[in-house]
Amino acid sequence: MAVVLESLARLSVLVFVVTSMLAMGLNLTVAQILAPLRDLRRVATALLANFVLVPVLAYAILVVIPLSQAQSIGLILLATAAGAPFLPKLVETAKGNLAFGVGLMVLLMVVTVAYVPVVLPLLLPGVEVAPLDIASSLVVLMLIPLAIGLVVKARYSDVADSVQPAVNQTSSTALILLVVLMLVLNFQTVLSVIGTGVILALLLFIVASFAIGWALGGTEVDNRSVMSLGTAQRNVSAALVVGAQNFADPNVLVVLIVGAMLMLVVLLPLGGELGRRTAPSTESPERERMTVED
């Protein structure tokens, strides 16, 4: 039974990532995605938050909450990997600026591929990172489906509009299934780290990362929600690739798995709460056009 559930969980991840990226592409244009990234101050702030302040935060947490070496490595891996495929879905839940969410995800994902191989050996001596292994999975599962959706939207707009709701619904269903499966499969894993400080450290990491993004997100609520969720939701897929290739101690992967589960459990409801607090009258016409229809 466990093998079947693990297979379903892996399939759910693949279906969710591919369909969510495809749905984003079917609903947006390249110009809409690139427009928010033309604000150089916003881009610089996002890079500062994700690749400077969050790693510093991780080290500060390790000073306050001492963990084992393997557990500390897991937290550092999470802190250095940004650009999660879950971000657009979180932004949609929060009724944030979806185009900015997709653009930010792509930006952080590309920078992560270049950043992790350079920075991790400095933070964790002895680590060797293969950037092609990270890049290939991200390109195949995220960028290619997004590109396909954008091409269909640009050339066959009517087709894109007709199939996008179904693709988006498939993505949402896969996400719900994934959350349930992660809770079932990792229940014992969570129990194994109770009392070690890992859960407290991860919760503090998630909440403080969210606060960093919110503080640096500017004055517009729909952009602040994107920045805060984009900073708090780390690229667990990239972290798992690096962790599995470089560390024999299973506790490294345990931290990544528990962190992935806690991010879903914390950020999905938080995004929903942000969405409920976003009054329809405060939504700009531009953002309303970008919102994915369920």
Residue 264 lies in a domain: yes
The Cα-based distances of 217 to 57, 286, 287 in angstroms read 17, 18, 16
Residue 225 lies in a domain: yes
Q: In this structure, what CATH number is given to the domain that contains residue 162?
A: 1.20.1530.20
Which range in 24-33, 86-95, 201-210 is most confidently predicted, on average pLDDT?
A: 201-210
The Cα-based distances of 140 to 132, 143, 148 in angstroms read 12, 6, 11
Q: What is the pLDDT of residues 259-279, one digit of tens each?
A: 888 998 899 999 998 888 765
Q: What is the pLDDT of residues 207-249, one digit of tens each?
A: 999 999 999 988 888 889 999 999 999 988 788 778 877 777 7
**If 0-12 CB within 10 Å is exposed, 13-18 middle and 19+ buried, where does residue 121 land?**
middle
Taking the C-alpha atoms of residue 187 and residue 180, their distance in angstroms, rounded to an integer, is: 11
Q: What is the pLDDT of residues 134-182, one digit of tens each?
A: 677 777 777 888 899 999 999 999 999 999 999 988 988 887 887 788 7
Residue 282 lies in a domain: no
Residue 289 lies in a domain: no
Taking the C-alpha atoms of residue 193 and residue 258, their distance in angstroms, rounded to an integer, is: 9
Taking the C-alpha atoms of residue 68 and residue 197, their distance in angstroms, rounded to an integer, is: 10
The whole domain housing 266 covers 2-272
Q: What is the pLDDT of residues 118-143, one digit of tens each?
A: 888 888 877 776 677 767 777 777 78
Nearest to 201 by CA among 91, 59, 4: 59
Residue 41 lies in a domain: yes
Residue 283 lies in a domain: no
**How many domains are contained in the chain?**
1
Contacts with 193 (C-beta within 8 Å, 6 or more apart), sequence order: 71, 199, 254, 255, 258
Residue 277 lies in a domain: no
> What's the 3-state SS for 220-231?
CHHHHHHHHHHH
Q: Is 128 helix (H, G, I), strand (E, B) or coil?
A: coil
Neighbours of 284 (CB within 10 A): 11
The predicted structure's pLDDT at residue 261: 84
The Cα-based distances of 131 to 8, 22, 118, 119, 241 in angstroms read 28, 24, 9, 12, 10
Residue 285 lies in a domain: no
Residue 257 CA to its chain's centroid (Å): 14
0.75 surpassed by pTM: yes
The predicted structure's pLDDT at residue 294: 42
